[in-house]
C-alpha cells in the first residue's frame, strides 16, 4: 500500500526526532553554557549533544554519571522556561518512551493523540519531580511515574466510555433528547458525539447573539467543562462573600442563557433549509 498515515512507531519516532533537533539547535548553546556554571554534572560537557551521548551509554559503571546528569537536567528544566531542556530530556529518554508507547493498546484515546499523551505526561512528571525528596534511582522513578500516570489516564478514559447517562441528564444537556424505550441504554460514545454537535451549535449561537462576557461563561463551564465555582474563584480572589454572590448570579445567568440558546437551536433546526 502506497501512502497513508505512517505507522504508530514511525510517527512517534519522528516526533521525538524533531525534539532532538530542537535540543541540538545552536541557538540553545548560550543557555547550556550558563547551566554548566550552575550544575557541576554538566561542567565537563561542552554541549547538549555530549550530555545525550553520555546518557545513551547504559553500561553499569556509567550509572553514577547518568544519575547526576539526569538530576542536573531536571533541575534546569524545572527552573527554566526554555524548551531546550524539555526537548533534551525527551531525546535522552527516547528509548524508554518508545517502549512505553508500544505498550499502549486499545482505542480509549484516538491513536493520533497517544504520542502527545506519552510525551506530555513524561514532561509533566519531569517538571514536578521532587528532587529534594528522591535522591536516587531518578531514571527508574521517572519511568515508573510516567507509566503510572499514562495508564491511570487511559483507565479513566475507558471507564468514562462505558458510563451511562440517565434520561434526566440527556434531557438537560441535549435540546433534542427524546425519551428512550426501556430496553435502550444510552452509552457515552453516542452521547459524546451529541455533546460535540451541541457544543458547536451553542458556541455558534452564543458568539452571534450574546455579549462577550456571557460567551466566556459558557465557553468555560459548558465547552471546557470547568466547574462554575472554579471559574468564579478565578474571577474573585480572597473575598468569600463576593465570590458566593458572583457564583449565585452566574448560576442563574447561565441557566437563562442555556435555555435561550436551546430555544434558538430548536428554532433553527425546525426551519426549512434553503437552496436548490
* pTM for the structure as a whole: 0.57
For the residues of 86-123, what is the DSSP string, one character each? HHHHHHHTHHHHHHHHHH--SSSS-HHHHHHHHHHHHH
- Locate the domains of the chain by residue range: 8-161, 167-269
Mean pLDDT for 43-60 is 94
Using pLDDT thresholds of 50, 70 and 90, give the confidence band for residue 87: very high
pLDDT of residue 192: 43
What are the distances in angstroms from CA 177 to CA 36, 187, 205, 218? 62, 14, 19, 20
pLDDT of residue 178: 44
Kindly report, residue by residue over 99-128, the tens digit of the pLDDT: 998 888 766 667 667 888 899 999 999 999
Which residues are within 8 A (CB) of 62 and not within 5 positions of it... i.e. 6 or more apart? 54
For the residues of 18-34, what is the DSSP string, one character each? HHHHHHH-GGGHHHHHH
Mean pLDDT for 39-68 is 95
Residue 71 pLDDT exceeds 80: yes
Amino acid at each position: 500500500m502506497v501512502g497513508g498515515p505512517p505507522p504508530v512507531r514511525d510517527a512517534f519516532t519522528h516526533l521525538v526526532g524533531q525534539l532532538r533537533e530542537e535540543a541540538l539547535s545552536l541557538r540553545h548553546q548560550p543557555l547550556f553554557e550558563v547551566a554548566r556554571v550552575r550544575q557541576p554534572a554538566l561542567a565537563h560537557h561542552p554541549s547538549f549533544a555530549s550530555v545525550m551521548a553520555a546518557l545513551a551509554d547504559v553500561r553499569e559503571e556509567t550509572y553514577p554519571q547518568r544519575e547526576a546528569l539526569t538530576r542536573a537536567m531536571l533541575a534546569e528544566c524545572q527552573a527554566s522556561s526554555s524548551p531546550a531542556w524539555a526537548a533534551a530530556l525527551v531525546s535522552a529518554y527516547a528509548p524508554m518512551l518508545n517502549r512505553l508507547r508500544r505498550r499502549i493498546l486499545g482505542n480509549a484515546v484516538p491513536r493520533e493523540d497517544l504520542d502527545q499523551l506519552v510525551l506530555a505526561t513524561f514532561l509533566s512528571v519531569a517538571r514536578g519531580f521532587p528532587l529534594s525528596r528522591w535522591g536516587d534511582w531518578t531514571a527508574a522513578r521517572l519511568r515508573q511515574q510516567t507509566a503510572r500516570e499514562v495508564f491511570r489516564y487511559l483507565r479513566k478514559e475507558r471507564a468514562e466510555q462505558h458510563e451511562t447517562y440517565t434520561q434526566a441528564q440527556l434531557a438537560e444537556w441535549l435540546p433534542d433528547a427524546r425519551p428512550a424505550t426501556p430496553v435502550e441504554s444510552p452509552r457515552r460514545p453516542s452521547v459524546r458525539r451529541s455533546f460535540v454537535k451541541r457544543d458547536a451549535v451553542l458556541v455558534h449561537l452564543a458568539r452571534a447573539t450574546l455579549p462577550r462576557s456571557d460567551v466566556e461563561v459558557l465557553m468555560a463551564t459548558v465547552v471546557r467543562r470547568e466547574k462554575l465555582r472554579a471559574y468564579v474563584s478565578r474571577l474573585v480572589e480572597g473575598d468569600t462573600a463576593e465570590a458566593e454572590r458572583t457564583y449565585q448570579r452566574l448560576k442563574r445567568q447561565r441557566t437563562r442563557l442555556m435555555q435561550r440558546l436551546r430555544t434558538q437551536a430548536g428554532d433553527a433546526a425546525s426551519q426549512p433549509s434553503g437552496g436548490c
